Amino acid sequence: MSLQGPLIVVCDDPISALTERLTAAGASPVVEARRHEFATKLAAVRPAAIILIDGARPDQACADALRNIAAAPGAFTPIIACVRDGTAPAFAEALPVAADGKPELLIARLRSALRVRTLHSAVLHRIEAFDQTGGVMPDLAAGDALDDATVLVAGRGRAYPALTIAVGGRMGLIGALSLETAMSFLNSRDVDGIVIGDGFGRRMVEGFLVDLGADARFRDLPIAVLDHVIDEIDAERLPNLDRVVGEATLIADRLSPSVRVHAFAARLRRMMASLDGKGTLDPDTGLRTGDAFMHDLVSAIADAEDRGAALSLARISLENLAERRASLDAARIVGRLVRHADFACRDIDGTILIAFVDTDLRIAHVVARRIASVLLHTTLAPGQDRRTLDPTVAIAALKQRDTAATLIARVTPDSMVAAS
């Protein structure tokens, strides 16, 4: 895609060469501003994106204007900051790019961020149109998208423990001791960023990155590579790939803004799917909403009784499923695993309900146990211990004269029934 405009480039030094490159890439207009001019220029131009050139550390007025942009209603406005090795952006919301990197990398990263802006704009227009039809739509998730983000840390060298602690203290964490394991997690989990630590050979890392660049699913994924030369990788294929140096905490700080944007884009895609489903999908989990699940369960029971077909229901619980993060992780994993004919929802207590259509108790038990096994090996409890959460499964088959309420009651613990 060509670059959208207008763009504001903030720098105290002449930057005509960069302006020409941005214009040649399709951005129009490109507005240059010194730090002391930024607030004035911002009042005259509603930018599609802002670029902070190295040396333009925002003063108080500039920082206040940037915060207002980040918090303003409407479509997401990317802020990109050129930073040197071993540093993070002075403005915490800014997406970092190497100050000494090639202009092609900055332009590719800008394109990646503008794709999120385009997606956000489309979602906002769809929500407005949906509201006008009188539909009941779940709200777009609020709060910091970083709270929902999961970062994969791969490594087996000395830096690995420090990286997992630094990343796990800020975002959800998945650890992998090999790049093969890392790829399996990428295919089975929602991942918003990757840190490739030490302990791997250069060819192994380059092969892994080539595989990521060849898969459109991972095009905009933030990737931080520790101590490996990665100049050969095409910036358009992996625009958010960086070689990083420094302490683990600094690496986590530098990666966090890009991870936040990727997690926000994932929110938007789930919301778009919910809009496509006319509000029947929960934008937090991608599963059915509670009301939609009950409606579908009533219909499935009636259909099973008419055809004399089987129907089974499972409830999957984790030790700490009431904790929002663990519950969301489990629900999103289940969404990847359920068969096309089946449907699921996250219940109000955080447990997962799955309806298995045309499935008797024996087969449903096997399928539910397989799902629980995946949760056991891929879901971690919050906190410093990072222990796995042992899932428990309750399952029941449809009986004569069962209703949706009685079927659900047979997989619900007595303690929950008493509490309700």
What is the C-alpha end-to-end distance of the chain, expressed in Å? 53
Looking at the structure of the chain, the number of domains it has is 3
| Domain boundary residue, one of 139, 163, 197 | 139
Same domain, 317 and 402: yes
Q: Give the model confidence (pLDDT) of 313-372 as tens digits.
A: 999 987 765 567 777 888 988 998 998 899 999 988 888 999 999 999 999 999 999 998
For the cut 90, the answer to whether the pLDDT of residue 36 exceeds it is no
Tokens describing residue 359: 């499935």
Same domain, 196 and 293: no
Same domain, 133 and 155: no
Q: How confident is the model at residue 417 (pLDDT cuts 50, 70, 90)?
A: very low
User: Within a domain: residue 266?
Assistant: no
Q: How confident is the model at residue 389 (pLDDT cuts 50, 70, 90)?
A: low
Nearest to 237 by CA among 253, 250, 223: 223
pLDDT for 55 equals 55
| Domain boundary residue, one of 109, 139, 169 | 139
72 near 48, Cβ under 8 Å?
no
Same domain, 238 and 326: no
| Domain boundary residue, one of 74, 104, 139 | 139
Same domain, 149 and 113: no
pTM of the shown model = 0.89
Backbone angles phi, psi at 396, to 5 degrees: -145, 150
Same domain, 326 and 347: yes
User: Within a domain: residue 408?
Assistant: yes
Same domain, 370 and 393: yes
Same domain, 87 and 196: no
Tokens describing residue 225: 């590579």
For the cut 50, the answer to whether the pLDDT of residue 382 exceeds it is no
User: Within a domain: residue 230?
Assistant: yes
Q: How many CB atoms lie within 10 A of CB 374?
A: 17
Q: Give the model confidence (pLDDT) of 259-277 as tens digits.
A: 999 999 999 999 999 988 8
403: helix, strand or coil: coil
Q: How many helices and strands in the chain, by DSSP H and E?
A: 13, 14
Q: Whole-angstrom Cα distance, residue 48 to residue 64?
A: 18
User: Within a domain: residue 267?
Assistant: no
- Overall average pLDDT of the 225-231 stretch: 70
48 near 9, Cβ under 8 Å?
no
- Overall average pLDDT of the 370-392 stretch: 68
Same domain, 89 and 158: no
pLDDT for 416 equals 44
Nearest to 399 by CA among 308, 296, 338, 299: 308
Distances (CA, A) of 400 to 1, 132, 305, 365: 57, 43, 8, 20
User: Within a domain: residue 322?
Assistant: yes
The domain that holds 385 is classified in CATH as 3.30.70.270
Same domain, 366 and 294: yes
Nearest to 60 by CA among 83, 14, 91: 91
User: Within a domain: residue 1?
Assistant: no
pLDDT for 409 equals 93
Angle at 258 between CA 253 and CA 260, to 5 degrees: 90
User: Within a domain: residue 275?
Assistant: no
Same domain, 73 and 174: no
Same domain, 109 and 20: yes
Q: Give the model confidence (pLDDT) of 97-137 as tens digits.
A: 988 888 888 999 999 999 999 999 999 998 888 877 776 67
The domain that holds 45 is classified in CATH as 3.40.50.2300
Q: Whole-angstrom Cα distance, residue 148 to residue 1?
A: 28
User: Within a domain: residue 272?
Assistant: no
Which stretches within 214-346 are classed as H helix?
Answer: 248-276, 290-307, 324-337
Q: Whole-angstrom Cα distance, residue 263 to residue 135?
A: 26
Nearest to 271 by CA among 261, 262, 281: 281
Nearest to 91 by CA among 117, 65, 120: 65
Range of the domain at 348: 285-419
